[in-house]
Amino acid sequence: MSGSTIIFYMLAALTLVSGVLAVTTRQIFRAAIFLLFSLIGIAGLYFWMQYDFVAAVQIVVYVGGITVLIIFSIFLTQQAGDLLPKPTIGRQIFSALAAFCGFALTMLQLYQHKFIGTSEAPVLPTVSNIGDRMLSLGADGFALPFEVVSVLLLAAMIGCIVIALRSKPATS
């Protein structure tokens, strides 16, 4: 067993174990921290697949951005030390059953299917290749989605400010 394989299984275990803990722990702050570790594990898997740019984006956006946002909103909305209410046993059983059946069905389909890849020369996912492709106007470029996403982010930012703005008291 090579070092790469060992690292892969360690990253997989980190991702899945902290993912399970993030959805089952009853302390909401711990759930956020376990989510953080799960996201770091996924970034590690991207590094393991040598997609360095996506791994860096994952760390910056998810680990550095979204988790911090979630932790701030926990501070704003939860009383310290409160446990989350325990879900009813019936709901737990049926959710576990639904998730397990879906997982079993997916894996069954997956292992019966034989994927056939291409044999053409690979394009390395370096930052310069990604940048060229992202701003290219040609047939395989992504300039239009790039612009659309930038407009979407602007709209979402303005929307967040408007929604979270404290409205003035009506009686003034």
Partner 1 sequence: MEPGLYHILFISAALFFIGVFGFFTRRNLITMLMSVELVLNSVNLNFIAFNKYLWPNKMDGLFFSIFVIAIAAAEAAVAIAIIINLYRSHQSIDVERTEQLKF
**Binding map of partner 1 across residues 59-78, x = CB under 8 A, - = no contact:** --xx--xx--xx--xx-xxx
- Told to check if 33 binds partner 1 by CB under 8 A, we report no
Window 128 to 147, contacts with partner 1 (CB under 8 A): 129-130, 133-134, 140, 142, 145
Size of the site for partner 1 (CB under 8 A): 84
Other CB atoms within 10 A of residue 36 CB: 20
Q: Evaluate whether 25 touches 31 at the Cβ level (below 8 Å).
A: yes
Question: Does residue 164 belong to the site contacting partner 1 (CB under 8 A)?
Answer: yes
Would you say 2 or 172 has its CB closer to partner 1? 2
From candidates 118, 128, 171, 172, binder to partner 1 by CB under 8 A: 118
Q: What is the dihedral of CA 44, 101, 96, 58, to 10 degrees?
A: 20
How far is Cα of residue 25 from the mean position of the Cα atoms in its chain? Answer: 19
In the complex, minimum distance from the CB of residue 167 to partner 1, in angstroms, rounded to a whole number: 9
CA atoms lying within 13 Å on the CB side of residue 115: 6
